Each structure stands twice: as C-alpha cells, then as structure tokens.
Amino acid sequence: MNVEIIIPNKTIVSKEIDSITAPGTEGNFQILPRHIDFVSSLKAGILTLAIEGAEEYYAINYGILVKRSNEVFVVCQQVIRGESLEELNRAVEEKLSVQSEKEKATNEILSRMEIATLKRISEME
C-alpha cells in the first residue's frame, strides 16, 4: 500500500509500505494492506513504517490518518524522521531545545513589553 505523510506546506513521504503503526488517540494501532477503510485521530507519538523488513520512524504531533483503498494519508502539523529510535530521540530533543530557546526569547520580549506598558499606565495616572 502507498503512504503519504503530509504537513501543511508539503508532502514529507510518499512511498510503498508493508504496514504502518500509528499512535491513535484511543491507543496504538497497525494497518496492513487489506485493512478496511479507516479514519483515526492521532496523538503525539511515533509513527512506524515497515518496508521490506526494515522500519522507518517518524515522531509526529497530533494529526489525522485516513486509510482509503490502497492509500494511507497521514496529515499532521510537525514530523521528525529518524533512522532508529535512538536517532529519533536525539532529533526530537534537539528540536524541542531549539523551540524552548525561541519560547524563552519570546517570553522575555513579552515580559519587557508588559513592564513598559505598566510603567506608561502608571505615569499617566
């Protein structure tokens, strides 16, 4: 069956697979080629693609999975690929630390803006 992993601005993966294991909101599940058509919401977790005895791993945040005929579509906000679970773990930690640094900088700017606004309000009184 063919799988496509799609984020808002592009298709990350489009390939033939043997099976897919996904983190559904009701628990992990696996889809094989003759599986009934299916729709599921996804939670943050690891998407595993089995291809000719090998596995590929993708960390995803929330999303939707649609299995229709011989096609599987996974649509989510963010995807991080890893050759192994260890590599995927490192990639996720790295991405989270970058996001954390950006969040810290943003929070610092917002705090300064709040302080400046409060000073101006107190000067007006």
Whole-angstrom distance, CA of residue 37 vs CA of residue 67 = 5
- pLDDT of 64 reads 92
Backbone torsions φ then ψ of 34, nearest 5 degrees: -95, 20
Task: Write the single-letter amino acid at 37.
Answer: D
> What is the average per-residue pLDDT within 94-123?
72
Q: Is the pLDDT of residue 96 over 70?
A: no
Q: pLDDT higher for 115 or 63?
A: 63
From the list 16, 11, 121, the residue with the least C-alpha distance to 71 is: 16
Residues 46-86 have pLDDT tens digits of 899 999 989 999 988 888 999 999 999 999 888 888 777 77
Whole-angstrom distance, CA of residue 74 vs CA of residue 78 = 11
Residues 6-45 have pLDDT tens digits of 998 899 999 999 999 999 988 999 999 999 998 999 988 8
Q: Domain locations in the chain?
A: 1-83, 84-125
Confidence of residue 120 (pLDDT cuts 50, 70, 90): confident
Superfamily for the 1-83 domain: F0F1 ATP synthase delta/epsilon subunit, N-terminal (2.60.15.10)
CB 31 within 8 A of CB 72: yes
